[in-house]
Every structure is written in C-alpha cells, then in structure tokens.
Amino acid sequence: MSRLKAIREQKNLTQEELSEKSKISVRTIQRIESGTEPKGHTLRALAQTLEIEESLLLQEENIISQENNEVKTEAPEESVTINYSLVKMINLSSLLFVVVPPLNILAPFLLMFVMKQRNSLIKQIISLQMFWTAIAPIVFMLGIFLKLGKEFTLILMILIALSNVFMILRNAAEIDRKKKLYFNLKFSML
C-alpha cells in the first residue's frame, strides 16, 4: 500500500475529498498513490491537508495511530516511532534549565536516550538549544562592550533568557498543532 493511501485511509478520506481539501487533482493523487513521489507544492499541500510532516509522505511506509498520538514510519532497514507527546515533553525539559545554559542541552539529551526517542525532531530540538547556548554569550558580551550601563546589562540578560523561553514554548505549540518545529535550523549539530 502506498504511503499517501495509508495515511488518507487512516484519516477516513476518499481521493475526491482529499483532492477537494488540498486543491490537488484526483489524477495527481492517483499517480502518487500508484508510486509517483510528490514534490514541491503538491507535497506541501498534501502534508498540510493531512496535518503531517512532508517527510512522512516521502518514506517507505507510514502507519498512523490516532489513539496514542504516534506516527510509526517503517523504512527498509529501520523503524522509527515518533511520539509527539514525548517530543513535546523533551522540548519543554529545556525550560527547567533556561538560566543554566549547559543543562538546557543536557536535559533533553538525556531524555532522548531514556525515552528512546532518537528522531530528527529531538535532534533538531537539541541542536537548537546548542546553537542558542553558543550565541547567547556572544550577544551578552557584545552588550557589555557597548557600555550602556548596569541596567542595560540586566535587561539584556533577561531578554536573552526570555528569547529561549519563547522559542521553547513556540516550538511546543507547533508540535501540538502541526507535528513539527516552528524554530529549527537548516542543519543538525548531532
């Protein structure tokens, strides 16, 4: 069974209903279900309509389980299960240590192994925290070199910490809604 067909049937949609919702022709949907790989606008439109990540339409076979909020992807040699509730919890674990930068990386990293969630979303969350941890001191030092006073330095420290809090909370909301990250890097540090 094709990836698109399996997901479409899990969502209880006919080809015609999917076509109407995604604004993609029935013929295109039939071609994709018979083996053609979706690309560009078609891929984005189908993924958005089905409320899944684009990458799930490009892998070997996907099985979506609605009752426990998991998507299991079966590739030829490996099987990866993404539990979005755990992904969100791992993302939010960085909040506990937002004022102690090395721990904001360590907490999600350890949880990744404990919860056995070694997937691209978790790696992207940890990479984002690593990037923020590297950039925050640079921004702080630049603020100190401006010599605008102690009040400015305090405000800058608070803004740096709040920027990380905002980033974590915004990603958590996006994981809930669209099963992806709002803030992410184009590369992975892991």
Q: Name all domains of the chain by residue range, CATH numbers in brackets.
A: 3-77 (1.10.260.40), 84-178 (no CATH)
Q: What mean pLDDT is predicted for residues 164-190?
A: 89
pLDDT per residue as tens digits for the range 101-131: 888 999 999 998 898 888 888 889 999 999 9
**So what's the pLDDT on residue 33?**
87
Q: Say whether pLDDT at 154 is over 80.
A: yes
Q: Say whether pLDDT at 63 is over 90.
A: no
Rounded Cα distance between 125 and 87, Å, is 9
Exposed e or buried b per residue across 126-135, where buried means at least 16 C-beta atoms within 10 angstroms of its C-beta? bbbbbebbee
Exposed e or buried b per residue across 87-116, where buried means at least 16 C-beta atoms within 10 angstroms of its C-beta? bbbbbbbbeebbeebebbbbbbbebbeeee
- Quickly state the pLDDT bin for 159 (edges 50, 70, 90): very high
- Quickly state the pLDDT bin for 1 (edges 50, 70, 90): low
Q: Say whether pLDDT at 34 is over 90.
A: no
Q: Which of 182, 175, 166, 164 is nearest to 86 (CA)?
A: 175
pLDDT per residue as tens digits for the range 36-57: 888 889 988 998 998 888 888 8
